[in-house]
Structure 1
């Protein structure tokens, strides 16, 4: 079974603050922006909704309003948070991570270490790092790189380049590492921006 990462460049704290904000104007805006996608998701998860899961719109409303949540249908709140992230910032190129299989993320992290980058790991996006208060869900996975981690990782990469560290021999891994460095270069310094990623 193949998997993919979806990645967004965001003001991380501001984005998390939408959870439980109760901002009805934001809720209306995101529903309008993603109306077609919300309808498609309801078709995709029709069986789960028939079994009692909230619709995509209901899950989004719960996340913005801070609940109530139904833990047995936690996946819907994870996807609602991903929609909030998609509203908040640009989608980053994920061509090296869509699709992927097996231990690919660990292989890329090994490639990052080879060029001196240890401050971030792509495997972090395979975790369960949804904002506090949202119920645990394995799918979608979620993780974030803080502004400080992104800045430190880019400094590490530049230092590795000065030291003449060579990328790993595997061409696909080396290309994925190059793509990750491209993400890091897009993060504005000192502006509160980081990267939030989802695995699904």
Structure 2
């Protein structure tokens, strides 16, 4: 993913766009205003224009932040596999982080959800973010999990432990493939 952003790789651009349905290839710019009480309006870029900007490393226009999130999501979908979608809220992320810490795992869900920095010059929706776990951190977490005994597991909140176990599937898959886990989200 890191190598793709700013790579100016037209073959990558063409390969991604070739998989899109026709409605994503429209040339019209639309004003998106789903909520009349919402003071912010975002101007959607045609998806190919936003993707091209991400692959080229810019230029980025401030009012098109949500369009670039979609382009990052397209890159993730093309370069990797879609992991189970997760729904989260702030308190839940903190609980899972505490569970990882209690288990001695040097990993935090907050790094995956909020670990990346979105370009502060761009106008993103309030609810958007991205982050990653390195393949090394994934492998270390799997090793630590495999070495845990039941007494330690019994001390962790059962719901948080269930979430850690769910994420363990992702960690094992990333370790097996030697890949990082990258998350881009909006919503």
Residue 177 in 1 paired to residue 164 in 2? yes
Specify whether residues 88 and 77 from structure 1 end up closer, same or farther in structure 2 by C-alpha distance, changes over 3 A only: same
Higher relative contact order by CA 8 Å / sep ≥ 6: 1 or 2? 1
RMSD: 3.2
* Unmatched tracts of structure 1, length 5 or more: 1-14
How far off its partner does 1:167 sit? 4.6
Specify whether residues 168 and 76 from structure 1 end up closer, same or farther in structure 2 by C-alpha distance, changes over 3 A only: farther
- Distance in 1, matches of 2:123 and 2:116, equals 9
Cα deviation, 1:2-59, whole Å, max 9, x if unaligned, reads xxxxxxxxxxxxx21111211212111111213368369x89x7426x9644222210
Work out which of the two has the higher radius of gyration on C-alpha atoms and give 1 or 2.
2
Check conservation: 1:144, 1:197, Cα contact below 8 A: yes
- Distance in 2, matches of 1:18 and 1:187, equals 19
Question: TM-score normalised to the size of structure 1?
Answer: 0.73
Question: TM-score normalised to the size of structure 2?
Answer: 0.77
The within-5 A match list for 1:145-184 is: 145-159=133-147, 161-162=148-149, 164-167=151-154, 170-184=157-171
Cα deviation, 1:125-156, whole Å, max 9, x if unaligned, reads 33261588995745430001111111122222
- Distance in 1, matches of 2:99 and 2:114, equals 20
Residue of structure 1 in register with 2:45 after alignment = 54
Check conservation: 2:42, 2:63, Cα contact below 8 A: no
Q: Secondary structure of the equivalent of 2:49?
A: helix
Check conservation: 1:23, 1:65, Cα contact below 8 A: yes
Q: Secondary structure of the equivalent of 1:74?
A: helix
How far off its partner does 1:112 sit? 1.7
Residue 111 in 1 paired to residue 122 in 2? no
Residue of structure 2 in register with 1:89 after alignment = 80
Specify whether residues 37 and 121 from structure 1 end up closer, same or farther in structure 2 by C-alpha distance, changes over 3 A only: farther
Check conservation: 1:125, 1:199, Cα contact below 8 A: no
Figure out how many residues of one structure are paired with residues of the other and give that number: 177
